[in-house]
Structure 1
């Protein structure tokens, strides 16, 4: 497994722990972050031993969002020509979007464990995850509005399906801070824990439970849920029929049925 500048990655018990590892910079997303996260999630996709991903931040905070030094470096690349500046910015934005698309498109479930600050670009990141969990000190804010810009890396596209259109508009227009209790009440996070240690214990317990299921069944379930974001019900029913025409032939089905009948825990191959 490679060494990374912005991340620490560990694999144990079929769970990949991907930790943003810049605590001295409040886990701000620097240039290395955006390229490394694509590489990491490609490794996750290619590694059958990985069945679930836990995404966290080292130290007191999950992430303060995009590193301001990175924004300054982009500004320094701009010249006097509006057309060329627009082309440069568009390329940068699309590249950053691709970084979080890699998380969203991962075939394995991604669970975010959030403590402290989760601001700006960090909201874009957790919106690309399957589930979100928080410590009681977590603070969420769509900060881009206070920087004079619209969020452009996924928040405005993914959050309506998570917390609803009206609530997203309120948070995106105001930039106000949401605490852990409100985050749970609006559906931004599934569950909260008193502190970071209990948060990680709880999230890893959920991850272990998922990792114990058939990886074929989990991947198929995620694929179908994701597909339904952009398709009609009858499209989804047609897709699952075609999908399961192949996947129901997996040995995982026989293993699961035998374990259920014998009241034993099933053991699935990677």
Structure 2
């Protein structure tokens, strides 16, 4: 690769792609929002499969770093931006409408495909995490091959706090990364863990001093991967993925179907209202 390249301005609104910035065979995909703290809104879910397809189609991209712009990697789902879609799923009256559940299932599956596109891509990925990594952002890094964190990074499966069963892949992938025990504790409590705990349990394999350091270490690892024979790297990833991909697919399909039946709950709306109103949620189990 003879020169540094990037995505055509305006091609993507949720990420920025840069190729050959530090290594001729490594691309960097940076989350840029447009929601606060790189929140994942409609644009992200629509664009991420195209982003990974672009990387896969470039023969000179052999690895990619996935990073977040600013102080935080990502706050996950951009609730404000996604609210119009959520509101569409609320029943307007008591008339039975099975098609509503089908629309929810399609909605969830389309979002999940964005995360799956990272795991299924031919391009190996290294996540560089600084600051907060919440909810959907944990789904994203769990789909990456390698994860590095800055010393200030924290991680949480926050969906339970907003009345949603995590359905973008973390419940399926994390048990293979950090084990069932910690996955259950994080998913059921919504609790944060810090970089030290993430390293201890294997969620990340390296902790750097700060955001600049984690980007350096992620790029160094990506360059090391890119320096190996591409076919062998691809084959190694395929063999590793083969052993778990069937189970992950079944788990993801099941949780998507579950959420299709229960997503539009009173507790979910209460959780979202409490978040926006900055108060303690009052759940009723409905």
Please give the TM-score of this superposition, normalised by the length of structure 2: 0.78
Change (3 A) 1:151 1:74: same
1:208 counterpart residue number: 223
1:43 counterpart residue number: 54
Alignment of 1:10 with 2:25, yes or no, is no
2:208 counterpart residue number: 193
- Moved >4 Å (runs of 4+): none
2:238 counterpart residue number: 223
Tell me how far 1:86 sits from its aligned partner.
Answer: 1.0
Is 2:73–2:131's contact at 8 Å kept on the other side of the alignment?
yes
3-state SS, counterpart of residue 159 of structure 1: helix
1:141-165 per-position Cα deviation (integer Å, ceiling 9, x unaligned): 1001111221011010110100001
2:259 counterpart residue number: none
Is 1:54–1:207's contact at 8 Å kept on the other side of the alignment?
yes
What is the rounded CA distance, in whole Å, between the counterparts of 1:14 and 1:138 in structure 2? 27
3-state SS, counterpart of residue 26 of structure 1: helix
Is 2:131–2:154's contact at 8 Å kept on the other side of the alignment?
yes
3-state SS, counterpart of residue 40 of structure 2: coil
Change (3 A) 1:7 1:123: same
1:177 counterpart residue number: 192
Tell me how far 1:76 sits from its aligned partner.
Answer: 2.6
Tell me how far 1:203 sits from its aligned partner.
Answer: 1.1
Alignment of 1:110-189 (within 5 A): 110-189=125-204
What is the rounded CA distance, in whole Å, between the counterparts of 2:171 and 2:86 in structure 1? 23
3-state SS, counterpart of residue 228 of structure 1: helix
Tell me how far 1:23 sits from its aligned partner.
Answer: 7.4
Alignment of 1:20 with 2:35, yes or no, is no
3-state SS, counterpart of residue 229 of structure 1: helix
Quick one: which of 53, 64, 71 aligns to 1:60?
Answer: 71
What is the rounded CA distance, in whole Å, between the counterparts of 1:38 and 1:24 in structure 2? 19
Q: How many residues align?
A: 231
1:84 counterpart residue number: 99
In structure 1, list runs of 5 or more residues that go unmatched. Answer: 232-270
1:72 counterpart residue number: 83
What is the rounded CA distance, in whole Å, between the counterparts of 1:59 and 1:203 in structure 2? 16
Change (3 A) 1:24 1:92: closer
Is 1:114–1:133's contact at 8 Å kept on the other side of the alignment?
yes
Tell me how far 1:24 sits from its aligned partner.
Answer: 6.7
Is 1:23–1:59's contact at 8 Å kept on the other side of the alignment?
no
What is the rounded CA distance, in whole Å, between the counterparts of 1:198 and 1:23 in structure 2? 25
Tell me how far 1:85 sits from its aligned partner.
Answer: 2.0
What is the rounded CA distance, in whole Å, between the counterparts of 1:32 and 1:202 in structure 2? 29
Is 1:139–1:177's contact at 8 Å kept on the other side of the alignment?
yes
Tell me how far 1:56 sits from its aligned partner.
Answer: 0.3
1:74-101 per-position Cα deviation (integer Å, ceiling 9, x unaligned): 1232343442221111110000111111
What is the rounded CA distance, in whole Å, between the counterparts of 1:49 and 1:214 in structure 2? 12
In structure 2, list runs of 5 or more residues that go unmatched. Answer: 1-6, 247-286
Tell me how far 1:207 sits from its aligned partner.
Answer: 1.1
What is the rounded CA distance, in whole Å, between the counterparts of 2:147 and 2:140 in structure 1? 11
